[in-house]
Every structure is written in C-alpha cells, then in structure tokens.
C-alpha cells in the first residue's frame, strides 16, 4: 500500500490564518526574531511553563498576581515587565522551574490566533532537528504560520519556514501544492549558503540594529542548539521533550 503523503501549507500572516485553519492539522508558529527562538531558549534553561498572552493588559494582570512576566512591544521591554524578548534574558537563574507569562509584538499574538487548533508547536532554527523528527512522527498535515511583523510578510520567518518545509519534503513523507510553501523553499535555497548575509536586508534586522538589539541575530539563526519542543496545552506552552 502506498503511503498517503501529508501536506504542508504556509501562511505568511496571522491575519490570513482563517484561510488555512484546519482543526486537525498541526500548526507550527515561527517568529525567528525573536519570540519562537526565545521560547526554545527558555525551555532549554528549565522553564516549566510559558503562558503566551496577546495583550499588554493581560500581561499586566498576571504581573499583579505575582507572575514572572516577559513582555515587549516593537522590540522594547514594557516598563512593568521583568524582562523582554531577547533569548539572552531567559537565564537558568531567572527561569528554572518557573512559569513565565510572555507577551510580544507578533509571536504570542500568532500563538493566540492558532490556539483553537488541535496541536500548536513552536519552531525556530534552534530546535529545527528535534521539531522535524517530531513532526515526522505525528503523521499529520502541517500549517506553518509565520508571525511576521504586525501582520505583514517577514523575510526571516519565511526563510526558516522554507528550511523546515524543505526538510519535511526531503523526508518523502510530506508534499505541498501551496504556493507560499513553494516560494519559501525557493527563498531558503537562495539564502541557505549565507544565511546571515541574506538576512541583512530584512526590515526587522534593520529595526533590531537601530534598537541595538541585534546581538542575538547569529544565535537565532543557528541550527539545533535546542532539544525543546514547546507545545501548547490549554493556555500554556510546555516542553514535550523533557
């Protein structure tokens, strides 16, 4: 019997997710600079749970109730928060065994948009290999949701999406006829031999440089530093691989 190949679809903006949404698919959230990279880091450093919240008001409410809160907007740490969105913030001494409430400009909003789907998982270069292997085991169709920038298309999220889609298709268990998946793979093939050089032109790379927040650029584009597979359960993320 021939195996039925599973499909990959790619959604370039949370504002378009309703067009792709399918309760039975696994949704992979991608926000390379910096939320999904930082979430993998936090679990690597022993965080217990991450509660992603979309609004500043919710994050404030959690803070009042004694939670550790990581929150930023447009790259800048919010004044009431314990720290911001850099993977460097999630050190063992801060996060080990803790529950962190997390709110960012794009990434946590994307998680919320996808939260009614059966399975939502966090993707980044850091956990590329463990995530790919895990997705292969699940035997489900996949939607990759790029967090983008305020619902706009983002180059760095798309390039990673291409890297993930390419690996899944090369496994011969997945296929795609989705134009945005095909475009992502082609862009990944342009970028892959000089990933940081390619990302130089991305708008968000410039934003982070202007804010002097680009120290994490190389880290966020490094493959397989993390074994974490952050999965959404009810209203929080936990590491299914620990």
76 binding its own copies? (CB under 8 A): no
Binder among 169, 183, 231, 240 for its own copies (CB under 8 A): 183
138's tokens? 């699940």
98/207 with CB nearer its own copies: 207
> Interhelix angle for 179-191 vs 155-170, to 10°?
100
d(CA 196, CA 205): 10
Per CB under 8 A, 13 contacts its own copies: yes
Count of C-beta atoms within a 10 Å radius of residue 4: 9
DSSP for 197-228, written as a single string: HHHTT-HHHHHHHHTT-GGGHHHHT-TT----
130, 74, 217, 30 alpha-carbon torsion, rounded to 10°:
20
Residue whose CB is less far from its own copies, 12 or 43: 12
**Phi and psi angles of residue 27, each rounded to the nearest 5 degrees, phi first:** -105, 125
Alpha-carbon gap, residue 17 to 13, rounded angstroms: 7
236 binds its own copies (CB under 8 A): no
Using CB under 8 A as the binding rule, whether residue 206 contacts its own copies is answered as yes
Q: How many binding residues for its own copies (CB under 8 A)?
A: 27
Q: Is residue 104 involved in binding its own copies (CB under 8 A)?
A: no
Q: Applying CB under 8 A, does 32 fall inside the site for its own copies?
A: no
Q: Which stretch, 49-57, 70-78, 92-100, 178-186, contacts its own copies (CB under 8 A)? A: 178-186
Site for its own copies in 138-177 (CB under 8 A): 149-155, 158, 177
Contact positions toward its own copies, by CB under 8 A?
Answer: 12-13, 15-16, 19, 149-155, 158, 177-180, 182-183, 186-187, 190, 201-204, 206
């Amino acid at each position: 019997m021939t195996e039925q190949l599973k499909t990959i679809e790619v959604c370039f903006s949370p504002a378009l997710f309703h067009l792709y949404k399918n309760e039975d698919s696994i949704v992979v959230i991608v926000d390379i600079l910096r939320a999904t990279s930082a979430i993998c880091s936090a679990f690597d450093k022993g965080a217990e749970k991450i509660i992603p919240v979309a609004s500043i008001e919710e994050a404030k409410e959690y803070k009042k109730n004694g939670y550790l809160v990581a929150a930023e907007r447009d790259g800048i740490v919010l004044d009431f928060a314990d720290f911001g969105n850099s993977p460097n913030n999630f050190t063992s001494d801060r996060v080990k065994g803790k529950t962190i409430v997390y709110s960012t400009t794009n990434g946590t909003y994307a998680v919320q948009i996808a939260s009614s789907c059966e399975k939502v998982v966090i993707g980044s270069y850091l956990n590329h290999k463990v995530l790919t292997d895990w997705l292969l085991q699940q035997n489900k169709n996949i939607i990759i949701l790029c967090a983008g920038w305020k619902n706009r298309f983002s180059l760095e999220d798309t390039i990673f999406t291409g890297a993930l889609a390419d690996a899944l298709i090369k496994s011969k268990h997945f296929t795609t006829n989705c134009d945005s998946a095909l475009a992502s793979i082609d862009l990944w093939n342009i970028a892959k031999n000089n990933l940081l050089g390619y990302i130089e032109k991305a708008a968000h790379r410039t934003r982070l440089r202007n804010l002097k927040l680009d120290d994490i650029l190389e880290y966020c584009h490094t493959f397989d530093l993390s074994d974490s597979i952050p999965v959404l359960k009810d209203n929080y993320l936990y590491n299914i691989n620990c």
